Chain A
Amino acid sequence: MNGRIGLLSNKWKLRLYLLPAIAVTLLLVGHGMWSAVAQSFQTIDGEWTIATYAELFSNHAFFHSLKLTFRVAVLSTLLSLVIGLVMTRMLYELFKDSTLKILVWIPMLIPHFVAGYLVFLFFSQSGLFSSLLYQVGVLESRGNFPVLVQEKFGLGIILTYIWKEVPFVILMLLPVYYEIDHRYSEVVRTLGGSKWDVFKTVELPWILPILIETAVILLAFVASAFEIPYLLGVTRPEMLPVRAYEWFYDGDWSKRPLAFSAMLLPGVLALLLATFSIGAVQKHRLRMIKGRNR
């Protein structure tokens, strides 16, 4: 829409449209972030110091939490992406004009911690799978069932995230799969390409930007969410958000700066990751658009 339609010029309309959302975001993120950074560098009495960071980096519990958080975030993101991608490829034609898509929405309707309870219900030592194996005669007692929930590796947490995020991945990918010009796939196949060739040369260039965006969103989410690890984690090592929450609410207020500095690290990491990957994708996108125009 070039030129003027309506009362305001486009430039002013644009500002008016964007202003509320930008103002709210700046207030929440800008101010929240600034205040968090400031409080991580201050003592309770308001003196500026880097002692908090020195204390954090000499804290073993912190590094164990960091390792666990990193592992859980990377594993659950990668597995969700792979499973979601495979399911989307198999199902996009079925979903095209059907009400079956509602099925994918079901897990989206459930808060994360209820998904956590589901995993607990099925996979804990006294859960339903353990009962099933006992009834079939594989297990002698519930103690023989492997500890999958509330253990140190974070398996239960990873399982919960996969169950919750696979539908999210599918819903992100579905629109892109409808956009792909599938005549290209036929070209590859007629030229003797395998299924993998089709995926690599036709589908991947289309879905790569959205795949990376989804990966960044999932990584950042899993690394900073509190609800599931609080429910399904172990007391030690606990995931970073739980560790930070406990420092924040510790009766001892001197631990508060630790809470801020502990969460700032994943925050800054996520921001850097997002900036780099989205920048890389932008280049790739431009190349694709140029290629199409030629």
Chain B
Amino acid sequence: MRLFLKRLGKRELATSFVFVLFIILFILPFVTIGMKSVSEGWRWPALFPNELSLDAWRSIMKDPSLIESIVTTFKIALLVVILNILLAIPAARALSHYTFKGKSIIEGLLLSPILIPGILLAMGLQFTMIQFDLADKMIGVVIVHLIPTLPYAIRVMRAGYERMGSSLNEQAAVLGAGPLTRFLTVALPLLLPSIRSLMLLTFVISLGQYALTAIIGGGTVITLPLLYYPYFSSSNEAVIAGFSILFALLPLLFIGLVEVMLRLVIRAVNRV
């Protein structure tokens, strides 16, 4: 062991220390929650559960409002992601490839939704949403979820466009590729990592909204977070743990779906 430590330089030692710290901080908590969700009567001061049971998962799955809320949550998040892609890609392209008058004002405007409290905007919008019959509906919740997501989406896509540069695109244009072919064969493949980050980020942000959903959804649009809070104040810890696991699984499920779809799209594009 000492020989091993000696052979490692100071830098490697520091790196591996931080690496272990990462695992302790970011992975161990989930192992613990996972254990908690299948434990029974794991109370202070026990360090490990003395009995395992699937009761918590059974009672979660028995809750009829749960399945419904998962579907609602997923639908809302999916729409939020799609809208973000449609809005952010062209805006990011404009911001990264062009200089124009008033650019910094427009940049500031597009960033402003993360600086102004979302809860204030949602409260302000509630009355208008009611007038236009969007309140208490999924579509209203989707719209209000754009507040915390769109600035991040534009930022991520902009970084992607800046990394890509414009030379490849120009070359394709010189060789006679039309705008659509250029986008599908040059920009899209190079932007894929950014699009993945965008999808993941906006999905997770939408998944984590309680206040905005509650204000605009008015208690008729029930997403997963709205069920989580009442469970948290109940005392069944295994059920809360199971719920938390669900929250971690949903983005993973979403990434899986997206990966499969992206592969299909890429294959289709390559055939063209």
- Please report the C-alpha to C-alpha distance between residue A33 and residue B124 in the assembled complex, in whole angstroms: 6
Name B's interface SS: helix
Cβ of A91 within 8 Å of any chain B Cβ, yes or no, is yes
Q: Which of B53-110 contact A (CB under 8 A)?
A: 86-88, 90-91, 93-95, 97-98, 100, 104, 106, 108-110
Question: Is B124 in contact with A274, judged by CB distance below 8 angstroms?
Answer: no
| B33 and A220 form a contact (CB under 8 A) | no
Report yes or no: A111 in contact with B87, Cβ–Cβ below 8 A: no
> A231–B115 contact, CB under 8 A?
no
CA distance A216 to B112 in the complex (A): 11
The CA of A18 and the CA of B89, in the complex, are separated in Å by 10
Inter-subunit contact A114/B247 (CB<8 Å): yes
Give the distance to chain A from B8, nearest Cβ to Cβ, in Å: 13
Interface residues of A in 153-186 (CB under 8 A from B): 163, 167, 175
Complex-state Cα separation, A31 to B144, whole angstroms? 12
A25 in contact with B109 given A109-B251, A111-B207, A114-B247 (CB within 8 Å)? yes
Using A25-B150, A94-B15 as known contacts, say yes or no to A113 and B228 having CB atoms under 8 A apart: yes
B120 x A29 contact (CB < 8 A): no
Stretch at the interface among A56-64, A74-82, A124-132, A196-204: A124-132
> In the bound complex, how far is the Cα of B21 from the Cα of A103, in angstroms?
11
- Of residues 110 to 128 in A, which have CB atoms within 8 Å of B's CB atoms? 110-114, 117-118, 121-122, 126-128
Let me know if A263 and B117 touch, CB within 8 A: yes
- Contact residue among B14, B94, B120 (Cβ-Cβ distance under 8 Å from A36): B120
How far is the CB of A139 from the nearest CB of chain B, in Å?
Answer: 8
Interface pair B45/A135, CB less than 8 Å apart: yes
**Given known A-B contacts A20-B90, A21-B110, A111-B225, A35 and B124 have beta carbons under 8 A apart:** yes
Q: A267 near B117 (CB under 8 angstroms)?
A: yes
What is the CB-to-nearest-CB distance from B205 to chain A, in angstroms, rounded to a whole number? 9
Chain B positions within 8 Å of A39 at CB level: 123-124, 127
Q: Is the CB of A271 within 8 A of B116?
A: yes
| Cβ contact within 8 Å between A267 and B108 | no
On whether the beta carbons of A103 and B26 are closer than 8 Å, the reply is yes
In the complex, A221 has a CB within 8 A of chain B:
yes
Taking the closest CB of chain B, its distance from the CB of A160, in whole angstroms, is: 12
Determine if A94 and B19 form an interchain contact, defined as CB atoms under 8 angstroms apart. Answer: yes
Residues of A within 8 Å of B111, CB to CB, are 274
Residue contact B119 to A241, C-beta cutoff 8 Å: yes
For A22-48 the 0/1 string (1 means CB < 8 A from B) is 101110110111111101000000000
Given contacts A26-B109, A224-B117, A226-B119, A113 and B208 within 8 Å (CB-CB): yes
> B94 touching A28 by the CB < 8 A rule?
no
Q: Kindly name the residue among B30, B115, B127, B170 whose own CB sees the greatest number of chain A CB atoms within 10 A.
A: B115
Please determine whether B146 and A24 come into contact, CB atoms closer than 8 angstroms: yes
Closest partner residue, chain B, to A175 (CB atom): B159
Q: Bound complex: CA of A9 vs CA of B155, how far in Å?
A: 25
The residues of A with any CB-CB pair to B shorter than 8 Å are 1, 5-7, 10, 13-14, 16-18, 20-22, 24-26, 28-29, 31-37, 39, 87, 90-91, 93-94, 100, 103-114, 117-118, 121-122, 126-128, 130-132, 134-135, 142, 163, 167, 175, 216-217, 220-221, 223-224, 226-227, 230-231, 241, 244-245, 248, 259-260, 263-264, 266-267, 270-271, 274-275, 278, 282
6 pairs from A and B in contact (CB 8 Å cutoff): A103-B27, A108-B200, A108-B201, A118-B29, A127-B44, A260-B124
Closest 8 CB pairs of A and B: A111-B208, A224-B117, A36-B124, A32-B121, A21-B91, A17-B94, A226-B211, A17-B90
